[in-house]
Structure 1
Amino acid sequence: MTDVAPVRSALAWGGRRPVWLVDAPAHRWRVMEAGDCRLLVAGDCYASEVELRAGLEAVRDEDWRALTLWPGSYWAVADNGETCAVISDLAGSRPVYFTPWDGTMAWATAVRPLVELTQTVLDVVSVMARMACATIPEITGTATTHQRIRRLPGGHALVIGRGRRPQVVGYEIAQAEVAFDEAASALRGALVEAVTCRTRSVRRVSADLSGGLDSTSLAFLAAENATDVLAVTRDDPAAPNDDITYATRIAMHPNLTHLVVRDGEAGLFYDRLLEAPRTDQPFTDAARWSMRYTFHSQVLARGTDLHLTGSGGDTVLTAAPTYLAALVKASSMPALLRHASTRARLRQQSTSTVLADAARLSRTGYRQALRDLAASIEFPAGSDRTGPTTLRWYAPLSLIAWLSLDARRELAKRARAAADANVLEDRGMSVRRATDDLREFGTYQAELTGQLEATGLPAHAPLLDNAVVRACGSVAPHQLQSCTTQKPLLGTALRGLVPQYLLSRPTKGGYDGNAYAGVRRNAATLRALLEDSLLASEGLLDLSPARAELARIVAGAPGRLASLEALLTTELWLASASSRPRSETWQPVKVTAHG
């Protein structure tokens, strides 16, 4: 029969459910077949040939989770003749999108090919919802930037079977919490394997060496497994901190070649914004692309086959402040007092205020949390009874106050509908919200990886490998926090492998100075983006408060940097999507109807 196939593609297998790989180097994908069973892994999968062949048994048994246990970060596609499963990673950093087409379900690892296949149009309301409530799936659902195209959540498989409706199936099994030391041991093994597999698979290895715990630990582990690792550190005069001190000390490792990039006047937030590589979906870090490219161009000039980053560490190795509610429920008073005192000191509150806030949150069930969310969306000026430091299970970005009344009512309606339809128990709210944060970070990481690869950098984020995510998620959220050190699970896991002075580091660097300088330097470009706002033209944004916020930050006053960044990069993406010419993605092809 006549069908279509993507251009510049290799056919992994044909038949009723053909799979193509587009612009994929041969070393990035492998296929195993036995009888009716076929297995594809694509991305960075470090399973041996023996392990992949054994995986065909899982394909036959439709044990999708078993196909997610190998080291690396990858997609898996499994077909046993009756059923095909397309499997993402736990975080969703290997995205899968799907849409009805021609009586079946078409899927891809990017939205754009499906847009050009189905000729669907922008879904601006869903874009707005994700901009304001990115970590709240009860608001965003699985919608993407285009109508009828859905995203597969992390930890799920898209299952397409003969004579059955396609299903989205969660493959991860809820596990009982384990002891802290057991989780640390699992994390140690997962990180060592993640780095070792990567460094031994290529000739030239490079790594971010920020001086922070995550990237610096990975760079040190890489140096223990490779003879010459190019480690690059960004010394940012606009955001001074002690990162450079820790990076310089670690760089004394004999297998590290240290490169310090001192930006001077280059590499601020929002620099060359209009030149940022286009991403498949909106991407808040588009505001930082020039800063990142200025930094990584030094690596590209020297050449690398694989570049390690610490991306994802803050998500999997720390817990949101709402973990205090879990401590209340656990009746762990000594720990609760220590952690509440620490938060009170950082937030300039009294310990009693924090304790009362944690107690209130512990009594707030799932339905009530969603109803509170709806109120805070619809009436952002008056619904928060206790101020911006109040602990809440759900909190939209503060830019919610910049949306039009109609837009806020739409989002509030979604929150109330989720509350009314709730069938979930109130137990495990901290774990549920941590999973939401992880999956949203996965959507971010997918675009970050795509943008870095568009500049030529073969970026890897080992901290989002499934084994690492599972180890970090196996302890109670409060065990990921310490009153004295950063990331206690990482510190215990890497004790003896990474210098203790790094693992015990109490401070963390920041970028606020760079962001404020970047806004001032690029004010004209940012004003123009707002004046041409597509969200405003669609009646979803009230430009006046957004303009006022930009003016305040340009003038040097403290402002809502994260909200402004989300709004401006969303407008940038929408402007790009509206003007993007149609490409030649598909071509007619003959495919067989069997096999």
Structure 2
Amino acid sequence: MYHLSSPEPPSRWPEAAGSLVDGRRRVVFDGATRLFVLGNCYADDRQLRDGLEHVRSGSWARLTEWPGSYWVVADTGDTMAVITDVAGTRPVYFAETPAGTQWSTSARALASRLDAALDYEALTARLVCPTVPEVAGDSTAFEGVRRLPGSHVLLVQRDGRHRIQKYEEPRTVPFETAAAELREALLTAVASRTQAAGKITADFSGGLDSTSLALLATGTAGADVFAVTHADTTSRNEDVEYALCAAADQPGLRHELVSDADGLFFSELLGAPATDQPFPDAARWRMRAAYQRPCTDRGSDLHLTGSGADTLLSASPFYLADLARERKVWDLMHHCLARARLRHLPTYAVVAGAVQLSRTTHADALQHLADDLAARPGRRRPESQARLHWVRASGASAWLTLDARRRLSLRAASAAEGCSIPSSETSRHRAWAELHEFGTYEAELRNQSHGAGLPHHAPFLDNAVVRAAMAIPVRERASTTVQKPLLGAALKGLVPDWLLARRTKGAYDGNAYTGLRRNVDLLRHLLAESQLAAEGWIDGGAAGVELERLAAGVPGNLAALEALITTELWLQRERTSTVAMQDA
């Protein structure tokens, strides 16, 4: 994997290593002021040179306003600024050492430089509470190696000391303003990429996100877009039908349905391209590779995906608490009724859950999480399915050892004591936490795709797109009639109305269960050799019981088991790599 790292004296410029699969390096300078941009940045040369003035003034946010997805490293002569993007998809890792702060865009590269050990507590915290930064923290899989949060800049002084500064402050604009900004940002994100590309390919699931981007790409003059749809025979959904309708008679679009009986969850796990950090979706790599292979075979230099749109543009159920807190009675009843029908729950129970959550502070929620983590699974009081949560542990919490429960519970309890987030800001805080966690996911998805030879792009996570989408209250992302109201308003007239109005979403449960049963022996082996169990963090036997239940077709914690399996896979590779280096 290509990465940048902090320079070794006497140089003041970042060091590069690995093969640059996608994007390019661009440098401008004026005397001691220098600007380095890495990735898919579509600013022109004049814009980059103008960026030198923003470096001199320390206006870091201005350096994140160009189209694309990229890292920025700026040097004033006295301070080096390393800037990640708003969502955190371009990761920056750092560590404090006796020689000063060191950083890298690869945690593994930095850990190798420092000879850092694995951090099993951090791995377990992220496995159990991935979207709760108060518990997962900024730690990584390596001791002493920390991750810079999205929307922040790492400022390293010449003497080696550092500080972290947030450059993105939340804002709120009217829904119509956000829709207009989102429309312009998406058009720019897609057009800037297609104009710079030679061979354009795209996911074309038939869903709202990837399909819309591919259709927008055909609007670029002379664009020829090759789009693929996964025709999965193991799962029943409407994706193929919607994809065929969207592709019919669309100028500039060549569409192909791809079916591969071996493209299953958990297939060929040991052949999965390496990632920098554990990647919960690594088990799906063979499924993605199956339908994306025609794009790789065509030598794609731009592959568009809808990655990130669900997290960015959909509303988590906790938005109902905002409706209750703001006493929007009609809206609250309307949305609770819709959720009750969808989940087959009593309407009064959903309303009660929303009202109860509206009276729960974020500090209370963290303390409830601490209590839940501390309790053994069999001793927890059953809760109503209608109950809503600000924060919640994943299903992997059921497999924690007693000591692991105690340690993670202490993390959550300590965070609860120091929490000062006002009730009016809780849903916004949670939305940003979920987005930044998805940023860590997207970084590894890109690593894995690049490892397979496909230049993965996610225009929905460009800075301007994120800024537009995050500028409305969470409750305005929700609708009882359409999936993503803000996206629908932004793309009206650009993509078919019937696509914007689609209410169903493709699911691949059949693929997951088929792949799990077919590869159950390998999964048993990974759990039997579990390093998290050997280190005392996970009860491997309990996880093994869950695996057998799922293999028998019993619904259970499939997502949690997938995350555990992929973590163990990553640890196995890391151990093998370490042994190989020691033997060399």
Equivalent position of 2:474 in the other structure: 477
User: What does residue 518 of structure 2 align with?
Assistant: 521
Residues 144-188 of structure 1, C-alpha deviations (whole Å, 9 max, x = no match): 00110000110111111234730111110231x211111100000
Structure 2 stretches of 5 or more lacking a match? none
Deviations 1:50-101 (A, max 9, x none): 1111111110011111111111001011111121110000111100001123
Q: Residues 331-370 of structure 1: matches in 2 within 5 Å?
A: 331-370=327-366
Aligned 1:334-483 pairs, distance under 5 A: 334-379=330-375, 380-383=377-380, 386-483=383-480
Describe the SS at the equivalent of 1:427.
Answer: helix
Q: How does 1:87-236 map to 2 (within 5 A)?
A: 87-163=83-159, 165-175=161-171, 177-225=172-220, 226-236=222-232
**2:551 alignment partner, one of 554, 557, 561:** 554
Secondary structure in 1 matching 2:36: strand
Instruction: Tell me the distance in 2 between the aligned counterparts of 1:27 and 1:465.
Output: 14
The CA distance in 1 between the partners of 2:216 and 2:296, in whole Å, is: 22
Q: What is the match of residue 19 of structure 1?
A: 14
Offset from partner CA, 1:296-317 (integer Å, 9 cap, x none): 1111112211000000010101
- Identify if the C-alpha distance between structure 1 residues 281 and 58 changes in structure 2 by more than 3 Å, giving closer, same or farther: same
TM value normalised by structure 1: 0.94
Structure 1 position 564 matched with structure 2 position 561: yes
CA contact (8 A) 1:116 1:582 kept: no
Maintained 8 Å contact 1:129/1:411: yes
CA distance in structure 2 between the aligned counterparts of 1:470 and 1:182, rounded to whole angstroms: 12
Q: What letter matches 1:489 in structure 2?
A: L
Deviations for 1:271-304, whole angstroms, at most 9, x for unmatched residues?
A: 0011111211000111101111111111111221
Distance 2:108 2:302 in 1: 26
In structure 2, give the amino acid aligned to 1:193: T
Between 1:460-469 and 1:552-561, the stretch displaced more is 552-561
- TM-score normalised by L of structure 2: 0.96
Partner of 1:590: none
Q: 1:200 to 1:463 in 2, by over 3 A?
A: same
Report the CA distance shift for 1:39/1:167 in structure 2 as closer, same or farther (over 3 A): same
Q: Counterparts in 2 of 1:247-258, with a 5 A limit?
A: 247-252=243-248, 253-258=250-255
The equivalent of 2:56 in structure 1 is 60
CA–CA distance in structure 2, aligned partners of residues 390 and 541 of structure 1: 27
Q: CA deviation at 1:352?
A: 1.0
Once the two structures are TM-superposed, the CA of residue 383 in structure 1 deviates from its matched residue by 4.3
Aligned-residue Cα RMSD (Å) equals: 2.0
Structure 1 unaligned spans of 5+: 1-5, 585-595
For residue 312 of structure 1, the aligned residue among 291, 300, 308 is 308
Cα distance, 1:13–1:543 mapped onto 2, change above 3 Å: closer
Q: Is the 8 A contact 1:329 1:362 kept in 2?
A: yes
Task: For 1:109, give the aligned amino acid.
Answer: T
Query: Is the Cα–Cα contact under 8 Å of residues 42 and 74 in structure 1 kept in the other structure?
Result: yes
Tell me how far apart the structure 1 counterparts of residues 423 and 2 of structure 2 sit (CA, whole Å). Answer: 49
- 8 Å Cα contact 1:376-1:384 kept in structure 2: no
- The farther-off stretch of 326-335 and 502-511 is 326-335
Partner of 2:46: 50
Query: Secondary structure at the residue paired with 1:580?
Result: helix
**AA of the residue aligned to 1:406:** D
Deviation, structure 1 residue 422: 2.1
Conserved? CA contact 2:527–2:540, under 8 Å: yes
Q: Which amino acid aligns with 2:267?
A: D
Q: Structure 1 residues 553, 165: CA separation in 2 closer, same or farther (over 3 Å shift)?
A: same
Once the two structures are aligned, what percentage of the paired residues are identical? 47
Q: Using the TM superposition, name which of 408-417 and 15-24 deviates more.
A: 15-24
1:588 maps to which residue? none
Equivalent residue letter for 1:285: D
Note if 1:327 corresponds to 2:327.
Answer: no
Number of aligned pairs?
577
Partner of 1:292: 288
| Residue 532 (str. 1) matches residue 533 (str. 2) | no
- Contact 1:203–1:305 (8 Å) recurs in 2: yes
Query: Aligned AA for 2:14?
Result: V
Q: Are the aligned partners of 1:11 and 1:21 in contact in 2 as well (CA < 8 Å)?
A: no
- C-alpha separation between the residues in 2 aligned to 1:204 and 1:56? 33
Deviation of the 1:205 alpha carbon = 0.4
Q: What amino acid maps onto 1:466 in structure 2?
A: N
Tell me, in whole angstroms, the C-alpha distance in 2 between the residues paired with 1:13 and 1:407.
38
1:80 to 53, 76, 101: 76
Match of 2:504 among 502, 507, 525: 507
Question: Quick check: 1:529–1:571 contact (8 Å CA) kept in 2?
Answer: yes
CA distance in 1, matches of 2:519, 2:22: 42
Instruction: Please give the secondary structure, in 1, of the residue aligned with 2:131.
Output: coil
Amino acid at match of 2:242: Y
**Distance in 1 separating the partners of 2:523 and 2:112:** 30
Contact 1:319–1:480, Cα closer than 8 Å, also in 2? yes
C-alpha separation in 2, matches of 1:381 and 1:28: 53
Aligned-pair distance for 1:384?
A: 5.3
State whether residues 6 and 102 of structure 2, in contact with CA within 8 Å, keep that contact through their aligned partners in structure 1.
no
CA distance in 2, matches of 1:517, 1:235: 15
Instruction: Write the distance in 2 (CA, Å) between the matches of 1:164 and 1:270.
Output: 44
Contact 1:206 1:299 in 2 (8 A): yes
Q: Distance in 2 between matches of 1:533 and 1:26?
A: 35
Shift of 1:543: 2.1
**2-structure distance, mates of 1:326, 1:392:** 12
Contact 1:219 1:231 in 2 (8 A): yes
* Residue of structure 1 in register with 2:24 after alignment: 28
Contact 1:535 1:541 in 2 (8 A): yes
C-alpha distance after superposition, 1:412-470 (max 9, x if no partner)? 00001111122333321111001110011000000000000001000100000011111
CA-CA distance at 1:386 after TM superposition: 2.3
| Offset, 1:389 | 4.2
Task: Work out which structure has the larger RCO, using CA pairs closer than 8 Å and 6 or more positions apart in sequence.
Answer: 1
For 1:7 and 1:467, the matched residues in 2 are separated by: 25
CA apart distance, 1:35: 2.0
Q: Using the alignment, how far apart are the partners of 2:578 and 2:571 within structure 1?
A: 13
